[in-house]
Amino acid sequence: MEQKKAYKYRVYPTNEQKQILARTFGCARFVSNWALRCKTDAFYQEQKRLYYKDLSEMLTALKKQGEYVWLNDVSSVPLQQALRHLDKAFVNFFEGRAAYPRFKHKRQKQAATYTSNAFTWRDGQLTLAKMKEPLSIVWSRPLPKDAVPSRVTVSKDSTDRYFVSILVEENIAPLPVTPKTVGADLGLKSYVILSTGETIGNPKFFHTDEKKLAKAQRRHAKKKKGSKNKEKARLKVAKIHARIADRRRDFQHKLSTRLIRENQTICVESLAVKNMVKNQSLSKAISDVGWSEFVSQLEYKATWYGRTLVKIDKWYPSSKRCFDCGHILDSLALEVRHWTCPKCGVHHDRDLNASKNIHAAGLTVREACGEAVRPGAVKTKPGTSQRSRKPRS
């Protein structure tokens, strides 16, 4: 089955290309902020909703005004794509997947998206609109044979590194079917505890560089605003942040790919990370571990390679439920890492017992064709009662 897949590479543009990209980034950022202001004002002042078509017509009129003729110096495609991205951001907001769109800033990640009519792909070389020479791309891995890019996104991060993401349609072959299944309990002390008994430690990338980052931030705060030393200090801070993010992403990709290749079904718990980070004592550690990104990688890789990812209910008491007899404790403090079942007397490692319960519940959900089944007597929420019911298979 053909899937859309993006390949990301490092780019080293020339000085002339950097100037063209800088203008394109700036214009795309301006259009995005201008459109966000127009949509917000129209809704709160006139109770009117503006959509992509309305903003596109307004942008065409804006570019004809003498004050904004500089918008014509760059390709019109990235500007139209900025409107489409904003429209998608509002869809995500109204469907509860994201917060209200925010204004973009110059110091944040800059990006511009080009569709097929705004770039040239010939003999493995990519030339963007308004550019005379192709981009110098470091091909860290080859594109699929006979792949034709449908969309290209050029970005620059806060450390002034340039990247290009090439979207292609690829016929991804599913992996051979394997009888192996696994349950994964995500934690803080250990990153993942598998139902097989394997424990994968938490690298704690942010914690490792936290002191170095704090020192760089203090130096940055003491520099004179607007000076070159201030910019140099800012770059050092950004590089530390980028190093943390790169290492974390590399670790997550390697681990998620390994789990997908080794198992036919992976069972995980649905975690409300947005609510969990409100805990002031654990918010930094939860943000450092990156559970949401890891589960997201498992999700799309399972789709690519013909695997099954099962998310069990977040209220399922995986830690408090005895895997051997099904007894559920009334409460289990977070600092308690081992406990003995008062009914059958089996001694449990908290995380290993949770991963086994997640594995069993996930397989039950899979056999029920995706129905949200919770075997045994399960409380829907802490402190609430539940009518007696028979276990469903």
Structural domain contains residue 325: yes
Q: Please, is 349 exposed, middle or buried when counting C-beta atoms within 10 Å of its C-beta (0-12, 13-18, 19+)?
A: middle
387: in domain: no
Which of 138-142, 231-235, 342-346 has the lowest average pLDDT? 342-346
For 143-169, b/e burial (b = at least 16 CB within 10 A) is: beeebebebbbbbbbbeeebbbbbbbe
Please check whether residues 120 and 205 belong to one and the same domain. no
* pLDDT, tens digit (0-9, with 9 covering 90-100), for 194-234: 999 999 999 999 999 999 999 999 999 999 999 999 999 99
Query: If you search the block for the tokens 């609510």, which residue do you land on?
Result: 275
Q: At residue 391, does pLDDT exceed 80? A: no
Q: How many helices (H) and strands (E) does the chain have?
A: 10, 14
Instruction: Examine the domain organization and report whether 155 and 267 are in the same domain.
Output: no
Q: What is d(CA 113, CA 95) in angstroms, rounded to the nearest whole number? A: 24
What integer pLDDT is reported at residue 393 of this predicted model? 35
Residues 156 and 71 in one domain: yes
> pLDDT for 164-177, tens place per residue?
999 999 888 999 99
Select from 129, 152, 171 the last residue of a domain: 171
Q: Is 294 exposed, middle or buried (0-12, 13-18, 19+ CB in 10 A)?
A: buried
Q: What does the pLDDT read at residue 7?
A: 95
Inter-residue contact 176 to 14 (CB < 8 Å): no
| pLDDT over threshold 70, residue 146 | yes
**Domain end residue (candidates: 139, 171, 203):** 171
Structure tokens at 370: 């995706």
* pLDDT higher than 90, residue 388: no
For the stretch 35-53, pLDDT in tens is 999 999 999 999 999 999 9
Co-location of 279 and 210 in the same domain? yes
In a shared domain, residues 39 and 137: yes
358 is a domain residue: yes
Q: Please provide the average confidence, as pLDDT, over all residues in the chain.
A: 89
Cα angle: 184, vertex 186, 189; to 5 degrees = 125
Looking at the structure, tell me whether residues 84 and 231 fall in a common domain. no
Q: How confident is the model at residue 369 (pLDDT cuts 50, 70, 90)?
A: low
Given 171, 194, 220, the domain boundary residue is 171
Q: Is the model's pLDDT at 6 over the cut of 60? A: yes
pLDDT at residue number 367:
73
Examine the residue annotation and report whether 210 is marked as an active-site residue of this protein.
no
Let me know if residue 385 belongs to a domain. no
Q: Residue 237: pLDDT above 70?
A: yes
For residue 195, is it within any domain?
yes
Q: Is 16 a catalytic residue?
A: no
- Over residues 238-247, the pLDDT tens digits come to 999 999 999 9
Annotated catalytic residue, options 157, 185, 198, 367: 185
18-37 pLDDT, tens per residue? 999 999 999 999 999 999 99
- List the catalytic residue out of 87, 157, 288, 351: 351
Q: Two tokens at 349? A: 């490692």
pLDDT number for residue 385: 39
pLDDT of 94 above 90: yes
Between 71 and 391, whose confidence is greater?
Answer: 71
Q: Are residues 261 and 144 in the same domain?
A: no
Give the DSSP H/E element, type plus range, for residue 113: strand 110-115
pLDDT band for 102, please (50, 70, 90 cuts): very high
Phi and psi at residue 122, in whole multiples of 5°?
Answer: -145, 125
Q: How many residues does the chain have?
A: 393
d(CA 352, CA 195): 6
Q: Is 157 a catalytic residue?
A: no
Which residues share a beta bridge with 138? 10
> Which region holds residue 348: left if phi is over 0, alpha if psi is between -120 and 50, else beta?
beta
Mean pLDDT of 303-322: 89
Contact predicate 114/77, CB 8 Å? yes
In a domain, 154, yes or no: yes
Task: Tell me: do 66 and 152 sit in the same domain.
Answer: yes
Given the residues 87, 157, 269, 288, select the one marked as catalytic: 269
The domain of 239 spans 181-369
Q: Considering Cα of 62, then 68, then 72, then 77, what sign does the dihedral take?
A: negative
Asked, for residue 384, whether it belongs to a domain, the answer is no
Residue 282 has pLDDT above 90, yes or no: no
Count of other CB atoms within 10 angstroms of residue 15: 6
Contact criterion met (CB below 8 Å) for 386 and 313: no
Q: Are residues 144 and 188 in the same domain?
A: no
pLDDT-based confidence at residue 138 (cuts at 50, 70, 90): very high
* Buried/exposed 360-383: b ≥16 CB within 10 Å, e otherwise: bbbbbbbeeeeeebbbbebbeeee
Q: Which of these, 197, 310, 295, lies nearest to 264 by C-alpha position?
A: 310
What is the per-residue pLDDT for 145?
A: 86
Q: Domain for residue 50, yes or no?
A: yes
Domain tally for the chain?
2
User: Does 244 share its domain with 358?
Assistant: yes
> Which residue type does 17 have?
Q
Could you give the CA distance from residue 335 to residue 332 in angstroms, rounded to a whole number? Answer: 9
The most confident of 87-96, 265-274, 356-365, by mean pLDDT: 87-96
Say yes or no: 15 and 115 in one domain: yes
Which residue type does 297 have? Q
Query: Same domain for 235 and 214?
Result: yes
